[in-house]
């Protein structure tokens, strides 16, 4: 399937680890120009030099940005547009994984997972209108099913991400801008949440692993592939969906 992503300008937050890192690579493999960010300068420097060597025929441009700093985030979006001349796809991917039912975690989840997502999209929308581009937000199965961390802000805010993305899709459809969500199930990443859980709480990890009917957790590349499809021209009539990629972990029927 030809995705038609060559030369498209794609913005991804949280691009140096986990699902974000896989998405950066996958878009580069399709010939897209990829701007990505994270907070750790050493990781950005490494990614910039490795990706430039690995993908000499396109461009990977990593920048240090903390998405919870809204001024910094908006100014990054605007500098990406200036540097690459356009924006075709935005993927707000960062979460602060706020799992505690405390005021601090509720505020952090709103700021990092929701307000930064809204701010990034808001800053990019005038550019997306010009390119008839699209948005892919990253939610979670925790936004659909009540999970083992409940009651906590994580799932509630992830549900809000799905709701907002569907509203956006409806509002922007007449202008040719699409918006979809991808909701990963349990995605195993050595230096990510499940790798850490496996080392710190092996019994909790095993309990969660056992819930996965395929007998395994997902790979970050499996989420990247789904996001690539949603962001591509092959999904030109797909807007407002919540694409759950979880190996059938969720048992509810999504109507
Ligand atoms: N892993 C799963 O099982 C799973 C399941 C469902 C949904 N998801 C969702 O998928 C998304 C990615 O998760 P992941 O597991 O891939 O995460 P991850 O492995 O922890 O990677 C997070 C990335 O985001 C960056 N980051 C974190 N906070 C940031 C901030 N404030 N500003 C800028 N960059 C920041 C990190 O780099 P720095 O720390 O250097 O900034 C890193 O590059 C999240 O929205 C998560 O909710 C994940």
pLDDT digits (tens, 9 = 90+) for 48-99: 999 999 999 999 999 999 999 999 999 999 999 999 999 999 999 999 999 9
148 pLDDT more than 90:
no
**32-53 in b/e burial notation, b at 16+ Cβ within 10 A?**
bbbbbbbeeeebbeebbeebee
Mean pLDDT value of segment 211-239: 98
Mean pLDDT value of segment 134-160: 95
Which of 150, 254, 140, 226 lies closest to 186 in space, CA to CA?
Answer: 140
φ, ψ dihedrals at 218, nearest 5°:
-80, 170
Separation between Cα atoms, residue 18 and residue 190, nearest integer Å: 9
- pLDDT for residue 137: 99
To the query of whether residue 164 is one of the catalytic residues in this protein, the response is: no
User: Taking the domains of the chain in order of start, what are their residue ranges?
Assistant: 9-244
Q: Which atom of ligand 1 is closest in space to residue 43's alpha carbon?
A: 40
Separation between Cα atoms, residue 189 and residue 180, nearest integer Å: 24
Catalytic position from the list 84, 95, 140, 183: 140
- pLDDT for residue 254: 82
- pLDDT for residue 170: 98
- Which overall architecture, per CATH, does domain 9-244 show? 3-Layer(aba) Sandwich (3.40)
Q: What is the pLDDT of residues 178-213, one digit of tens each?
A: 999 999 999 999 999 999 999 999 999 999 999 999
To the query of whether residue 78 is one of the catalytic residues in this protein, the response is: no
Separation between Cα atoms, residue 179 and residue 89, nearest integer Å: 10
Average pLDDT of every residue of the chain: 97
Separation between Cα atoms, residue 49 and residue 60, nearest integer Å: 9
- pLDDT for residue 147: 85
**Site to substitute for ligand 1 among 11, 12, 14, 97, most atoms within 8 A of C-beta:** 14
- pLDDT for residue 149: 84
- pLDDT for residue 13: 99
Q: Is 192 in the pocket of ligand 1 (CB under 6 A)?
A: yes
- pLDDT for residue 252: 87
Of 253 and 27, the one with more pLDDT: 27
- pLDDT for residue 255: 79
Separation between Cα atoms, residue 80 and residue 8, nearest integer Å: 12
């Amino acid at each position: 399937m030809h995705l038609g992503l060559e030369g498209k300008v794609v913005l991804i937050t949280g691009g140096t680890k986990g699902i974000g890192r896989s998405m950066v690579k996958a878009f580069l493999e399709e010939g897209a120009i990829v701007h990505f960010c994270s907070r750790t300068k050493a990781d950005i420097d490494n990614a910039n030099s490795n990706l430039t060597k690995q993908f000499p025929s396109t461009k990977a441009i990593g920048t240090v940005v903390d998405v919870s700093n809204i001024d910094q985030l908006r100014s990054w979006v605007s500098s990406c547009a200036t540097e690459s001349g356009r924006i075709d796809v935005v993927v707000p991917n960062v979460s602060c994984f706020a799992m505690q039912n405390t005021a601090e975690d509720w505020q952090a989840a709103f700021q990092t997972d929701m307000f930064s997502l809204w701010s990034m999209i808001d800053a990019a929308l005038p550019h997306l209108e010009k390119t008839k581009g699209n948005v892919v937000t990253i939610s979670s199965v925790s936004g659909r099913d009540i999970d083992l961390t409940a009651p906590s802000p994580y799932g509630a805010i992830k549900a809000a991400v799905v709701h907002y993305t569907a509203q956006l899709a409806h509002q922007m459809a007449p202008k040719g801008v699409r918006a979809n969500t991808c909701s990963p199930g349990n995605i195993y990443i050595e230096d990510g949440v499940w790798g850490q859980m496996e080392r710190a709480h092996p019994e909790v990890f095993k309990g969660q692993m056992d819930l996965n009917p395929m007998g395994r957790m997902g790979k970050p590349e499996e989420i990247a592939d789904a996001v690539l499809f949603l962001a591509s021209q092959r999904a030109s009539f797909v807007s407002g969906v919540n694409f759950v990629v979880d190996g059938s972990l969720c048992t509810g029927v999504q109507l």
